[in-house]
Amino acid sequence: MSKKGSVVEFDQNWQTRKEAQYNHWIKGQPQNQIQLAFHNHYKVFSEFLKKDGILSGKCLEVGCGRGSISSHFAEHGYSCTLLDSSQSVLETAKHIFTNNGHEAVFVHGDANELAIADETFDIVVSIGLLEHFEDINKPIREQVRILKPGGRFFGYIVPERTDNIQQNFHWLNRILSELSKLANSEEKIRAKQPIYRSDFGSPRYLEAIKDLPVNNVETFGMYPLPMISHSPDFPFSLMPPPLELALTKIFDLSLYVRYSLLKQNPWICQEEIGQAFLLTFRKNNTYLDSYGT
């Protein structure tokens, strides 16, 4: 299994799986758990961008897949560029953007070596990309290189771990998987290509950026909810729409309760609990930093 982004395995999944065609962006109320997740990811990101004053500008998504988070950025007026190593998923993303009335530039490329000039983007974001590299230094260094001074980096990382919230729900996913096999989809479930994922937590990433020109570094857990599916491995398989809708409403309510209790963005949690964690920082503004501000 490749540890440099699992380029081949991803491409095979994108070419063969029906899940590759899912559109995870919706303008109004989320209708399934993944739309709900992207909706909440964007809320967290937009809170940072509001504080930074980065309310427009150029945004690059590295390892864009179907471009679900970029759809949110495009909807909010950012100029989006979507980059992926899979030509196949870029075609899908183009389709999704056209159907949703969004514009973007689509680039076939490698996160280890971005064919992009230094200091090009105001925002660089990746969702579920960095955990697929054994050497995380290269792709992170590349993303910092192409950020403008003062630009914002978001790395949403989904490490391989056995002790987060998901551990309490494997039993339910196993039952759903058995039911799904009875409905004859076993073969399709098995056809998913296994993909390398590291178990690196935030300390490893903080080590990777310690000599880079960045400031305001933060890491925290995100997505304090289980992922419920008969086949949760990548690419995640949604359940039938009525079940997804019911689950979305329950999850939404539980986030509301969490907000009422904690009085903070309920999508943020301890790293140990969440499905993922975020690494975020700003690139140094060379002029200001040289004067120690």
Ligand X SMILES: C[S@@+](CC[C@H](N)C(=O)[O-])C[C@H]1O[C@@H](n2cnc3c(N)ncnc32)[C@H](O)[C@@H]1O
What are the percentages of helix, strand and coil residues in the chain, rounded to 5?
Answer: 45, 20, 40
Quick one: which of 20, 74, 104, 127 contacts ligand X (CB under 6 A)? 127
- Closer Cβ to ligand X, 152 or 258, answer by number: 152
147 binds ligand X (CB under 6 A): no
Least separation in angstroms between residue 129's CB and ligand X is: 5
7 binds ligand X (CB under 6 A): yes
Which residues within the stretch 226-255 sit at the binding site for ligand X (CB under 6 A)?
A: 234
Quick one: which of 20, 129, 225, 238 contacts ligand X (CB under 6 A)? 129
| Rounded Cα gap, residues 62 and 126, in angstroms | 5
Least separation in angstroms between residue 116's CB and ligand X is: 12
DSSP state of 78: -
- Report the run of H or E that residue 203 belongs to, with start and end: helix 202-209
- Strands in 105-108's sheet, in edge-to-edge order, are 105-108, 79-84, 58-62, 121-127, 147-157, 276-283, 214-222, 268-269
| HSE-CB of 13 using CA atoms within 13 angstroms | 22
Residues 143, 154: contact at Cβ < 8 Å? no
Least separation in angstroms between residue 7's CB and ligand X is: 5
Quick one: which of 30, 63, 159, 221 contacts ligand X (CB under 6 A)? 63
Phi, psi (deg, nearest 5) at residue 95: -60, -50
- Closer Cβ to ligand X, 84 or 122, answer by number: 84
| Rounded Cα gap, residues 123 and 235, in angstroms | 26
Least separation in angstroms between residue 155's CB and ligand X is: 11
- Closer Cβ to ligand X, 6 or 180, answer by number: 6
Which residues within the stretch 107-126 sit at the binding site for ligand X (CB under 6 A)?
A: 110-112
Residue type (1 letter), 144: V
Question: Which tokens hold the place of 121?
Answer: 């983007």
Alpha-helical regions (H) of 76-169: 87-100, 137-146
Least separation in angstroms between residue 9's CB and ligand X is: 9
Least separation in angstroms between residue 3's CB and ligand X is: 10
Which of helix, strand or coil describes residue 41?
helix
Contacts with ligand X: how many residues (CB under 6 A)?
22
Which residues within the stretch 65-94 sit at the binding site for ligand X (CB under 6 A)?
A: 65-66, 68-69, 84-86, 89
- Closer Cβ to ligand X, 12 or 285, answer by number: 12
Q: How would you classify the pairing of strands 121-127 and 58-62?
A: parallel
- Closer Cβ to ligand X, 49 or 60, answer by number: 60
- Closer Cβ to ligand X, 121 or 258, answer by number: 121
Least separation in angstroms between residue 236's CB and ligand X is: 9
State the helix-helix crossing angle for 33-52 and 241-262, rounded to 10 degrees.
40
Residues at the interface with ligand X (CB under 6 A)? 5-7, 10, 63-66, 68-69, 84-86, 89, 110-112, 127-129, 132, 234
